[in-house]
Amino acid sequence: MAKASDRDGEDDADRHVARWRDHWIDVDFDDEVEGAVVRMQHLVRHFREAKQRAVAQVGLQAFEYDTLHTLMIRDTPGHASPTDLATDLGVSPAGMTGRLDTLEKAGYVGRTVGKTDRRRVEVEITDAGADIWRQAMAIRGDAEDQVVNVLSKKEQIALNQLLKRMTLSVEAEGEQDH
């Protein structure tokens, strides 16, 4: 594996592109597109693995972290209905009930009757839930900082601008599909 300080060294994406170029002569192939996509996939995989390590290190299961994270990053941090959480996480209502049962048993969330509508249930993160989520986020953030901080602040800004253009293109395409 190439060292982060070796900016001009060959990486896995370079080797992948060279293999594809040599073996797929009859396929329309752009080295720069393939290299960029492979590198982004590699980084996504690295960040996913860093998240898994962070979650394990604090003693959470992935679904517990995902539920706490979704609860904490809402417009109403730490508060949501089970239905809203299920929608945000893409899980069934029954699946959400199971998640909340587990988190409530661990002391990470509490469920209360709605203040304005007693038929509604509200989920609220506890101090213990917020604390363990913050611990995992700190570990995860350190892993992200390690990767991004190999770039200068100017390079980070440029990278963000380029990624934003690509993201906006995908988002616009998605809106057209709906």
Each residue of 4-40: pLDDT tens digit? 444 568 888 888 888 877 776 667 778 888 888 889 9
Tell me if 135 is assigned to some domain: yes
Shared-domain flag, residues 65 and 136: yes
Q: In sequence order, which residues have a C-beta less than 8 Å from that of residue 20 and are 6 or more positions away?
A: 27, 29, 34
- Hey, which residues does 80 pair with through a beta bridge? 123
Shared-domain flag, residues 91 and 135: yes
Tell me if 134 is assigned to some domain: yes
Expressed in angstroms, the distance from the first to the final Cα of the chain is 42
Claim: this prediction has a pTM higher than 0.75? yes
Shared-domain flag, residues 99 and 73: yes
Shared-domain flag, residues 72 and 38: no
What is the number of residues in the chain? 178
Encoded tokens for 167: 């993201």
Shared-domain flag, residues 50 and 81: no
Shared-domain flag, residues 34 and 80: no
CA distance 12 to 121: 49
Range of the domain at 132: 61-143
**What total number of domains does the chain contain?**
2
Each residue of 38-52: pLDDT tens digit? 899 999 999 999 999
CA distance 67 to 133: 10
